[in-house]
Amino acid sequence: MMIEINYFMNLLLGGLVVGFIYALTALGITIIYGILQIPDFSHGNRYMIGAYAGFLAASVAGSMLEISYVAAILGAVAVSSVIAVLSYLFVYKRLLSAPHITSFIAAIGLLMLLEGFALAVFGPRYQRIHTPFDYMVVIGALRINAQRLIVLFCSIAAIASLLYFLRRTVTGIALEAVAQSPIGAKLVGINTDKMTLIAFAIAGALAGFAAALIAPITLVYPIMGAELNLKAFVICVVGGLGNIPGAIAGGLVLGIVESLYGGYFDIRWKNLVAFGILVAILILKPEGLFGKKERRA
């Protein structure tokens, strides 16, 4: 009985770790969608580029793991943020007055561009970011990888900081105002272009941070962003597009369901189960769990 409980707790912890990574990535998509009302399909590959930036930063920093891992996190966050801002300035900003389908196609083009760049520069080989937390922690009868605990605690801290920023700071409140009504925000003197730049920078930083946290566990490879991107959009739809609490809850639900199903049943079918949940939710509640129904004229 005790073995079963320990096994369940390990699966639950693993689901929470993955779920928080999903949530961090989905939050970036949610923030951008809230501002521009476009699905940014290139977001997952900014996560991937951030992971490679972290790998390069760690390699340059040297063999002292504590310093190299901090360098990996800072490098991933910085590069992902810069790429996100450049994506807005040179692509999305120029398409603001165009039909949404144009931005949608541009996002897919960016996705392919970033993935092709990674393949051309780094090749298809897997890379690893080394971490000083590559050991087991014993909590009672549980044995937990320390890096997983780092992912868990740092993700919670990042999400809590984001929520505080959005709810308690002037800039964060301005961002939410732009998301609710860009025209109304302009009328009260908010610089919507500046707020959009900040939104993209935050979204990129979250993607880079998530990548640097999980890369020591999952490794770094060119299609890692495309795989996560699809699940992040599942989460956004499940939680309600543009809904921040929904993105967090959706990420945790998806991560836990995947982990428990893979642990107790067949791991090969866990993605099928995850997308089956999406379809079921869309049928029962098309606006998502936390979304609001739109009134028809």
Confidence of residue 1 (pLDDT cuts 50, 70, 90): low
Residues 110-166: pLDDT tens digits?
A: 999 999 999 999 998 999 999 999 898 887 777 889 999 999 999 999 999 999 999
Give CA–CA dist 166/151, Å, rounded: 22
Residue 18's closest CA among 151, 163, 133, 156?
A: 151
Can you give the pLDDT at residue 242? Answer: 79
Q: Alpha carbon of 28 to those of 177, 194, 206, 269, 295: distances in Å?
A: 17, 17, 6, 27, 27
Q: What is the pLDDT of residue 283?
A: 82
**129 three-state secondary structure:** coil
Closest CA to 117 of 144, 79, 75: 79
Residue 296's pLDDT band, with cuts at 50, 70 and 90, is: very low
The two tokens of residue 101 are 């389908």
pLDDT above 70 as % of the chain: 95
Q: Strands, E, within 176-276: which ranges?
A: none
Q: How far is residue 83 CA from its own chain's centroid?
A: 15
Average pLDDT, the chain: 88
Q: Please give the average per-residue pLDDT across 169-182, as a whole number.
A: 91
What would the DSSP string read from start to end of 144-200?
Answer: EEHHHHHHHHHHHHHHHHHHHHHHHSHHHHHHHHHHH-HHHHHHTT--HHHHHHHHH
**Token pair recorded at residue 6:** 């320990």
The verdict on pTM exceeding 0.85 is yes
pLDDT on residue 192 = 92
Whether 195 and 188 have beta carbons less than 8 Å apart is answered as no
pLDDT digits (tens, 9 = 90+) for 16-70: 999 999 999 999 999 999 888 888 888 999 999 999 999 999 999 877 888 999 9
pLDDT at 256 over 60: yes
Beta bridge partners of 137: 144
Report the DSSP beta bridge partners of residue 139: 142
**CB 2 within 8 Å of CB 141:** yes
